[in-house]
């Protein structure tokens, strides 16, 4: 297509491009084009604009020679792209007009797009928000990840139980990304390390290749276009092997099968990540391709070669999933480029930084040493080199002769009660190989310093820092809630899209009855839209007059969906006991996928669904209470649920939720939070003020004290009659007569296995907080005032602010 920048393109030209793509790219007569075909044609048009933008951005960057950020992440939960891209490029209305002239509605066309589920949840979505912000702030950045053939499973329910189906999102998708065959990379696995003239040579490897797929990342009202480069694995074709040692080039059947499988499926975030060989290979595959690509590009763009590598390259490791990048860069430097060990380590420590997203000890990645030794023999050697230097020089200097400290800090964990073989601690490898380590909310970072890595924090007091997460206001307000965005534009102008602190000036309208009325009316319209979706998905009606209480996040015991379950059971019983009580109608809306192997999480889903069935069909409670479990939570569903929420449930056990980002999106859209002092809730409370949030439950310190004292859930059970009745009911089989034992594991976890997440301990406080919500709801002026204050106070939680923090404190950009 002829190059015309998005700013100058008009509706006529757009429709011409669409028609061209229908006949030439899709090869069908326009008369036969379906909505899906129009989507594809418009998407190709926008992709062309984006690819032009990438080229121009690269040229500009080369002229300016700035440092570039490379975001290494196994997940990018990007959501649907077309509508967002049209908005960013400022051609949404033009596209609307162009399609209308062709007799098609843009909104229908946008609904045709498959929502790619290339991530599990928060960590993956954060990566996507960060790409949006980097681009909007004109920061040179490339995101690197995997082009999975199957994203996170599709969820449905059968008799209330979760069913998983493969998410084959790329099938009949012609315009997804642009394959850059020229930039393919060779990846080696297995083999052995030989000493050739005093140099390590990794030989007899099994080889495959990585093909890059590029996706243009547009920013809001800027010409900058960044790249998301996702790798697909395939058997090695004809490759120029001169660059490599003469590895055995015969492609065995086994490596061919492996090569076809590496990028096949996204791993779900399991309760206990098992050391699966394919997952390790996946991690190495994408790291090896990405690093080689970074290095190739650097040498293309810089005559100085390695001399200014660290000045030009910043790599962010999104959790430990890409941690193998540390020994991989060491290997390239030492074995392929004549670097000595110390110089190589020094360079790594200038380039890498690591973000930690979890405090759950069992969620920290550890790989059996024997597995790494077999798959990546040279990397295991290098890990040992790093560890030896770290322990014998750096730790020794700080704690001379202290072997306990060396054992505690070792990257290699010796066999112990939990594992019979040495394990490689990927988090320690990441800390040792990086110049900065960050947590994702103030409280979390403090706990990373004091509980997770206290010795590292003593050794390197400047290394562990905080960068509080954020969300992009373009997708999570402007795009998903156009009516509220419009009201805000009309009231304070549209500058908030690029500077979310501007929302602050909405505070003066919090008490304004006219503004409140408009704000409330928009919320109601959004609730009507969601009610229609609920009816379609679940087959029953809910009233938009009810309080929409939303808990949307992955299912995990620490997030405590089971606490809501118990509370709703209590509400239902109270209603049955007093059917005439004058309380507002409530709809509890759950969205959550459980990892397929996480049995108890699935029991909780099953129990919520069975309770919903009972409550929703009981005429005695006069529709006062409804329970909805929307299947298959994903970005495009979040875009409908979040604008419609009145109440945001953020009720994790204090000290377990690193940050949360749904909490930010919901408050930004005017929901009031009921939450514990955990993760970013603490900072949300600081911003909105204690009067405008419903905080309840044990704090981190109280949790520690209670555990220390000895917590016995039976004591709570015995002391609280209502709770006793509920748990007995849950265990009785009454909610699930066809399988009376179905919920026993949950009751056991709560009563007999110590209630590790302190659900019962927080039950009464949670219930009391809900009572306050009810009281507030009864006073609409008060409610809408608080809702407006919530929205107005979210400036801090823009991912633009997060990215500026990273640029300043970590990336030096």
In this structure, the dihedral spanned by the alpha carbons of residues 392, 393, 398 and 401, taken in order and rounded to 10 degrees, is 30
C-alpha–C-alpha distance, residues 489 and 484, integer Å: 9
Residue nearest to ligand 26Q (CB): 122
Does residue 48 interact with ligand 26Q by CB under 6 A?
Answer: no
Does residue 469 interact with ligand 26Q by CB under 6 A?
Answer: yes
Q: Which residue has the tokens 């998983």?
A: 164
Any catalytic annotation for residue 36? no
Residue with Cβ nearer ligand 26Q (207 or 449): 449
Does residue 440 interact with ligand 26Q by CB under 6 A?
Answer: yes
Helices 561-577 & 721-732, crossing angle to 10 degrees?
Answer: 100
Any catalytic annotation for residue 194? no
Residue with Cβ nearer ligand 26Q (115 or 365): 365
Among 316, 516, 632, 659, binds ligand 26Q (CB under 6 A): 659
Catalytic one of 559, 567, 593, 801: 559
Residue with Cβ nearer ligand 26Q (136 or 355): 355
φ/ψ (deg, to 5) at 217: -110, 110
Among 135, 282, 661, 681, binds ligand 26Q (CB under 6 A): 661
Q: What is the arrangement of strands in the sheet containing 423-425, beginning at the earlier edge strand?
A: 366-368, 423-425, 412-413
Q: Which residues pair with 194 in a beta bridge?
A: 201
Cα angle 276-278-281, degrees, rounded to a multiple of 5: 115
The minimum distance between CB 430 and ligand 26Q, in angstroms, equals 13
C-alpha–C-alpha distance, residues 192 and 190, integer Å: 7
Among 143, 655, 675, 679, binds ligand 26Q (CB under 6 A): 679
CB neighbours of residue 253 within 10 Å:
8
Catalytic one of 554, 556, 606, 785: 554
* Strand ranges in 676-752 using DSSP code E only, listed in sequence order: 694-695
Among 148, 267, 548, 711, binds ligand 26Q (CB under 6 A): 267
Site string for ligand 26Q, 350-389 (x = CB under 6 A): -------xx------x------------------------
Among 273, 433, 473, 631, binds ligand 26Q (CB under 6 A): 273
Do residues 130 and 803 make contact, with C-beta atoms less than 8 angstroms apart?
yes
C-alpha–C-alpha distance, residues 153 and 265, integer Å: 9
Catalytic one of 553, 567, 602, 626: 553
Residue with Cβ nearer ligand 26Q (265 or 546): 265
The minimum distance between CB 440 and ligand 26Q, in angstroms, equals 4
C-alpha–C-alpha distance, residues 226 and 143, integer Å: 8
Does residue 676 interact with ligand 26Q by CB under 6 A?
Answer: no
3-state secondary structure 205-265: CEEEEEEEEEEEEECCCCCCEEEEEEEEEEECCCCCHHHCCCCCCCCCHHHHHHHHHCCCE
The minimum distance between CB 703 and ligand 26Q, in angstroms, equals 17
Among 658, 723, 742, 761, binds ligand 26Q (CB under 6 A): 658
Catalytic one of 125, 312, 357, 796: 357
Any catalytic annotation for residue 222? no
Does residue 472 interact with ligand 26Q by CB under 6 A?
Answer: no
Span of 86-94, 206-214, 268-276, 748-756 interacting with ligand 26Q by CB under 6 A: 268-276
Residue with Cβ nearer ligand 26Q (372 or 727): 372
Does residue 322 interact with ligand 26Q by CB under 6 A?
Answer: no
Tokens read off for 335: 């074995």
Among 221, 279, 384, 804, binds ligand 26Q (CB under 6 A): 279
Span of 121-129, 194-202, 422-430, 540-548 interacting with ligand 26Q by CB under 6 A: 121-129
Distances in Å between the alpha carbon of 418 and those of 41, 230, 271, 412, 422?
Answer: 55, 36, 16, 14, 11
Any catalytic annotation for residue 606? no
C-alpha–C-alpha distance, residues 385 and 45, integer Å: 51
Q: Of 44, 7, 470, whose CA–CA distance to 216 is shortest?
A: 44
Residue with Cβ nearer ligand 26Q (469 or 759): 469
3-state secondary structure at position 103: coil
Any catalytic annotation for residue 498? no
Site size with ligand 26Q, rule: CB under 6 A: 21
C-alpha–C-alpha distance, residues 239 and 522, integer Å: 58
Does residue 151 interact with ligand 26Q by CB under 6 A?
Answer: no
CA 139 to chain centroid, in Å, comes to 21
Any catalytic annotation for residue 321? no
C-alpha–C-alpha distance, residues 216 and 752, integer Å: 52
Do residues 756 and 562 make contact, with C-beta atoms less than 8 angstroms apart?
no
Q: Which residues pair with 142 in a beta bridge?
A: 70, 227
Does residue 126 interact with ligand 26Q by CB under 6 A?
Answer: yes
Which residues are near ligand 26Q by CB under 6 A? Answer: 120-123, 126, 267, 269-270, 273, 279, 357-358, 365, 440, 469, 657-661, 679
- Could you give the residue numbers annotated as active site? 357, 553-554, 559, 661, 665
């Amino acid at each position: 297509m002829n190059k015309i920048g998005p700013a100058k393109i008009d509706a006529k030209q757009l429709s011409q491009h669409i028609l061209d793509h229908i006949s030439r790219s899709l090869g069908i007569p326009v008369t036969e084009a379906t909505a899906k075909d129009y989507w594809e044609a418009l998407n190709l048009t926008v992709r062309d604009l984006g690819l032009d933008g990438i080229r121009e951005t690269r040229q500009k960057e080369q002229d300016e020679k700035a440092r570039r950020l490379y975001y290494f992440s196994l997940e990018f939960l990007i959501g649907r792209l077309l509508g967002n891209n049209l908005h960013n490029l400022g051609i949404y209305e033009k596209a609307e007009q162009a399609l209308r002239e062709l007799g098609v509605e843009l909104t229908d066309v946008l609904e045709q797009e498959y929502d790619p589920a290339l991530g599990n949840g928060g960590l993956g979505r954060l990566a996507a928000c960060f790409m949006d912000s980097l681009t909007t702030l004109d920061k040179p950045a490339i995101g690197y990840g995997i082009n999975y053939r199957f994203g996170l499973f599709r969820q449905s329910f059968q008799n209330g139980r979760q069913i998983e189906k493969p998410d084959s999102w790329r099938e009949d998708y012609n315009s997804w990304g642009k394959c850059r065959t020229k930039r393919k990379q060779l990846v080696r696995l297995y083999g052995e390390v030989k000493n050739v003239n005093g140099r390590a040579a990794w030989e007899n490897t099994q080889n495959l290749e990585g093909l890059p797929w590029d996706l243009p990342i547009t920013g809001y009202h800027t010409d900058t276009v960044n790249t998301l480069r996702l790798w697909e694995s395939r058997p090695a074709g004809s490759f120029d092997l001169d660059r490599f040692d003469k590895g055995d080039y015969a492609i065995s059947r086994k490596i061919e099968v492996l090569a076809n499988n590496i990028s096949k499926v996204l791993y779900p975030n399991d309760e206990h990540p098992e050391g699966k060989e394919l997952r390790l290979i996946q991690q190495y595959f994408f790291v090896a391709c990405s690093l080689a690509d970074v290095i190739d590009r650097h040498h293309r763009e810089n005559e100085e070669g390695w001399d200014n590598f660290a000045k030009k390259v910043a790599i962010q490791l999104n959790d430990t999933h890409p941690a193998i990048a540390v020994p991989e860069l060491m290997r390239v430097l030492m074995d392929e480029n004549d670097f000595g060990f110390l110089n190589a380590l020094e360079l790594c420590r200038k380039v890498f930084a690591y973000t930690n997203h979890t405090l759950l000890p069992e969620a920290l990645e550890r790989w059996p040493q024997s597995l790494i030794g077999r798959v990546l023999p040279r990397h295991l050697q290098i890990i040992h080199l790093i560890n030896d230097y770290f322990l014998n020089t750096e730790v020794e200097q700080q704690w001379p002769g202290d072997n306990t400290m060396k054992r505690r800090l070792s990257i290699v964990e010796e066999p112990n009660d939990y594992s019979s073989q040495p394990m490689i601690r990927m988090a320690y490898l990441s800390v040792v190989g990086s110049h900065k380590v960050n947590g994702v909310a103030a409280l979390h970072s403090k706990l990373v310093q004091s509980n997770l890595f206290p010795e590292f924090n003593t050794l390197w007091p400047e290394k562990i820092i905080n960068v509080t997460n954020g969300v992009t206001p373009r997708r999570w307000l402007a795009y998903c809630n156009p009516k509220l965005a419009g009201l805000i534009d009309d009231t304070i102008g549209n500058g908030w899209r690029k500077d979310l602190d501007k929302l602050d000036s909405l505070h003066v309208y919090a008490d304004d009855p006219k503004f409140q009325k408009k704000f409330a009316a928009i919320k109601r319209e959004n609730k009507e839209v969601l009610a229609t979706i609920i009816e379609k998905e679940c087959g029953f009606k809910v009233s938009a007059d009810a309080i929409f209480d939303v808990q949307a996040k992955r299912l995990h015991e620490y997030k405590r969906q089971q606490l809501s379950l118990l509370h709703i059971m209590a509400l239902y019983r109270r209603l049955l006991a007093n059917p005439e009580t004058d309380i507002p109608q409530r709809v509890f809306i759950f969205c959550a996928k459980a990892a397929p192997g996480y049995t108890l999480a699935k029991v909780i889903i099953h129990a919520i669904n069975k309770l919903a069935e009972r409550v929703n069909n009981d005429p005695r409670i006069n529709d006062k209470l409804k329970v909805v479990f929307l299947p298959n939570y994903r970005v495009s569903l979040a875009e409908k649920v979040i604008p419609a929420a009145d109440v945001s449930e953020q009720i994790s056990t204090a000290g377990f939720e690193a940050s949360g980002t749904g909490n930010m999106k919901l408050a930004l859209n005017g929901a009031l939070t009921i939450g514990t002092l955990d993760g970013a809730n603490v900072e949300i409370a600081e911003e909105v003020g204690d009067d405008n949030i419903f905080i309840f439950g044990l704090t981190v310190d109280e949790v520690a004290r209670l555990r220390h004292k000895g917590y016995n859930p039976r004591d709570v059970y015995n002391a609280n009659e209502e709770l006793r009745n509920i748990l007995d009911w849950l265990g009785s089989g009454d909610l699930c007569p066809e399988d009376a034992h179905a919920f026993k594991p949950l009751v056991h976890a709560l009563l007999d296995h110590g209630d590790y997440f302190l659900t019962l301990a927080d039950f009464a406080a949670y219930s009391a907080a809900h009572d306050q919500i009810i009281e507030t709801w009864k006073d609409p002026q008060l409610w809408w005032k608080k809702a407006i204050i919530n929205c107005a106070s979210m400036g801090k939680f823009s991912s633009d602010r997060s990215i500026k923090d990273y640029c300043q404190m970590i990336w030096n950009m």
